[in-house]
């Protein structure tokens, strides 16, 4: 009998599994709290759990952490962990401390099949989806490790925000993502606010609709281009779900979202998507033809973090500022993302872990990078 990993379960699933052992729901709640609130993996130490349940758990279940391959600490306090997920794959998780919050950037896949041109994870190709347990293990480890180091009272949490912005496209791993989100939000576990759990997606439209129905949390959409011709090249998924469909899904999501805006991420690439004309196109895209059609949104401009294989450069600072100014003047809240953890390659798009490419993404991406820089004016 292989033991089940209890990190794979949200509370309802754990209660269902405990019921099969003849245990009541309140026992499942106790167990869930030991695991997620106290960070306990050893059943023998779960002191107020009935001895009979502890005996049943032994051999049948485990709390399976991820193996840490390395930990790097940046001069700005950002911490990056590399976790071994077996089979030659490793994923990265980044903790970003700020004065008023602690954010954990979590991976959802080993690699990514979307293959965005400017993303080093995308350049590595795709190996596999992470399980719910592997997604939650990143939070479980970070929260409890850091808490031990800081000796905090049990009521205080280290991690107040989770962003699904590590390696992978979370909405292409929906079955594992959904229970993981439920564990993050559960008051018996991490008790995070829906507004502080963000799913970032390159635009998997049907799954945005599913998330809206199943578990609305804050949504960030990686836009990167104001028109389909350019977006098709930067974010290949756009060929399947073009901008018009994506924006319709965003609009619908807002009817239930915990925040009343969508965050658009826009990676600033020199000579590709950073011109004043493109800023104006972007404004027209989200503002529509009338105030009633305006899509409530914020823009987060991300200075491109270069890596050699991309063949791309970051837009110069003055162009990023000019781009931001145009959006702001059109009434769109726009921020320029601060780069964190640069010295340890923990910044956006630099998370590369180690993955066995089981797709042909790598081969595809090494070819046409140059075409992008040479796009006709108007398209770029
Ligand atoms: N797959 C999801 C979430 C992971 S990527 C998505 O694409 O949204 C998280 C963010 O980092 C995305 O907005 C992505 O566009 C951005 N990003 C990727 N590569 C980058 C790079 N090299 N420089 C800056 N941002 C990058
Ligand atoms: Fe995948 Fe996101 Fe990177 Fe695109 S930006 S390749 S969707 S991880």
How much distance in Å is there from the Cα of 358 to the middle of ligand 1?
21
Whether 23 is catalytic: no
Ligand nearest to the CA of 364: 2
CA of 268 to the centre of ligand 1 (A): 11
Q: From the CB of 116, is ligand 2 less than 6 Å away? A: yes
Tell me the mean pLDDT in the region 15-21. Answer: 97
Strands (E), the chain: 4-5, 61-62, 67-73, 79-86, 89-98, 101-105, 109-111, 126-129, 161-164, 197-201, 218-222, 262-268, 297-303, 333-336
68 CA to middle of ligand 2, Å? Answer: 23
**Which ligand 2 atom is nearest residue 118's CA?**
5
Q: Which atom of ligand 2 is nearest to the CA of 112?
A: 1
Spot the catalytic one: 119, 250, 267, 348. Answer: 348
User: What's the CA-to-centroid distance between 208 and ligand 1, angstroms?
Assistant: 17
Per residue in 286-297, pLDDT tens? 998 777 788 999
pLDDT band at 367 (very low <50, low <70, confident <90, very high): very low
Predicted local distance difference test score (pLDDT) of residue 206: 98
Q: Name which of 119, 71, 117, 125 is nearest 93 in CA terms.
A: 71
Q: What is the mean pLDDT of residues 165-169?
A: 96
**pLDDT tens column, 93-140:** 999 999 899 999 999 999 999 999 999 999 989 999 999 999 999 999
Structure confidence by residue, pLDDT tens digits, 305-316: 998 889 999 999
All domains in the chain, ordered by first residue: 4-62 (1.10.150.530), 67-364 (3.20.20.70)
Task: Say which residue, 106 or 359, is predicted with more confidence.
Answer: 106
Residue 339 pLDDT: 76
Residue 380, pLDDT score: 27
Which CA distances in Å does 341 have to 77, 175, 219?
A: 8, 31, 23
For residues 146-170, average pLDDT? 85
Q: Is the CB of 122 under 6 A from ligand 2?
A: yes
Cα distances from 223 to residues 137, 242, 250, 251, 268, in angstroms, run 29, 11, 12, 14, 11
Q: Is residue 250 annotated as a catalytic residue, yes or no?
A: no
Residue with tokens 């769109």: 332
> By mean pLDDT, which of 29-33, 98-102, 325-329 is the weakest?
98-102
What is the per-residue pLDDT for 369? 28
Q: Are 121 and 373 in contact, with CB atoms under 8 Å apart?
A: no
Cα–Cα distance, 123 to 29 (Å, whole number): 42
pLDDT top residue among 369 and 157? 157
Report how far ligand 1's centroid is from the alpha carbon of 192 (Å). 23
Atom of ligand 2 nearest to the CA of 121: 3
Residues β-bridged to residue 104: 95, 162
| Residue range 148-154: mean pLDDT, rounded | 69
Ligand 1 binding pocket (C-beta < 6 A) is: 118-119, 165, 169, 200-202, 222, 265, 267, 302, 304-305, 348-349
- Smallest CA separation from ligand 2 atom 4, residue: 116
Atom of ligand 2 nearest to the CA of 109: 8
Section 274-280 average pLDDT: 98
How confident is the model over 141-149, as a mean pLDDT? Answer: 91
Q: Which of 23, 40, 92, 134 is catalytic?
A: 92
Task: Give residue-wise pLDDT tens across range 57-67.
Answer: 999 999 999 99
Angstrom distance (rounded) from CA 281 to CA 265: 16
The reply to whether ligand 2 has any atom less than 6 angstroms from the CB of 305 is: no
Q: Identify the three-state secondary structure at position 327.
A: helix
Q: Measured from the CA of 202, which atom of ligand 2 is nearest?
A: 7
Q: What is the pLDDT of residue 31?
A: 98
If one residue of 96, 135, 200 were mutated to test the ligand 1 pocket, choosing by the most ligand atoms within 8 A of its CB, it would be 200
**Residue scoring higher pLDDT (117 or 352):** 117
Name the closest ligand to CA 220. 1
- Report residue 260 as tokens: 């009343």
CA of 329 to the centre of ligand 1 (A): 26
**Which two structure tokens, joined as six digits, stand for 365?**
């991406």
Q: Whose CA is nearest to atom 15 of ligand 1?
A: 222
Q: Is the CB of 114 under 6 A from ligand 2?
A: yes
Ligand 2 centroid–CA 48 distance in Å is 44
């Amino acid at each position: 009998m292989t033991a089940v990993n209890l990190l794979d379960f949200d509370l309802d699933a754990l209660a269902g599994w405990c019921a099969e052992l003849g245990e009541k729901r309140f026992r499942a709640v106790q167990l869930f709290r030991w695991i997620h609130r106290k960070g306990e993996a050893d059943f023998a130490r779960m002191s107020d759990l009935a001895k009979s349940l502890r005996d049943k758990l032994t051999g049948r279940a485990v709390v399976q952490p991820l193996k840490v391959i390395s930990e790097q600490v940046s001069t700005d306090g950002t911490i990056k962990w590399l976790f071994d997920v077996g089979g030659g794959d490793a994923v990265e998780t980044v903790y970003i401390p700020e004065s008023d919050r602690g954010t954990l950037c979590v991976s959802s896949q080993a690699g990514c099949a979307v293959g965005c041109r400017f993303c080093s994870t995308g350049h590595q190709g795709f190996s596999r989806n992470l399980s719910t347990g592997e997604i939650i293990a990143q939070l479980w480890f970070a929260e409890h490790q850091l808490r031990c180091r800081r000796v905090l009272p049990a009521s205080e949490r280290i991690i107040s925000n989770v962003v699904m912005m590590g390696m992978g496209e979370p909405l292409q791993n929906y079955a594992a993502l959904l229970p993981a989100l439920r564990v993050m939000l559960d008051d018996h576990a991490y008790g995070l606010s829906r507004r502080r759990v963000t799913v970032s997606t390159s635009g998997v439209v049907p799954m945005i609709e599913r998330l809206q129905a199943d578990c609305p949390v804050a949504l960030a959409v990686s836009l990167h281009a104001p028109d389909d011709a350019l977006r098709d090249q930067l974010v290949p998924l756009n060929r399947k779900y073009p901008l018009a469909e994506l924006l319709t899904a965003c609009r619908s999501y807002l009817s239930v979202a915990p925040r009343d805006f969508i965050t658009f991420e826009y990676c600033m690439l020199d000579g590709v998507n950073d011109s004043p004309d493109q800023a104006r196109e972007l404004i027209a895209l989200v503002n529509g033809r009338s105030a009633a059609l305006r899509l409530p949104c914020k823009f987060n401009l991300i200075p491109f973090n270069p890596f050699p294989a991309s063949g791309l450069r970051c837009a110069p600072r003055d162009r990023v500022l000019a781009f931001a100014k145009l959006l702001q003047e059109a009434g769109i809240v726009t921020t320029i993302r601060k780069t964190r953890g640069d010295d340890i390659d923990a910044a956006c798009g630099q998370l590369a872990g180690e993955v066995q490419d089981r797709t042909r993404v790598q081969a595809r991406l090494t070819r046409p990078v140059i075409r992008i820089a040479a796009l006709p004016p108007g398209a770029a």
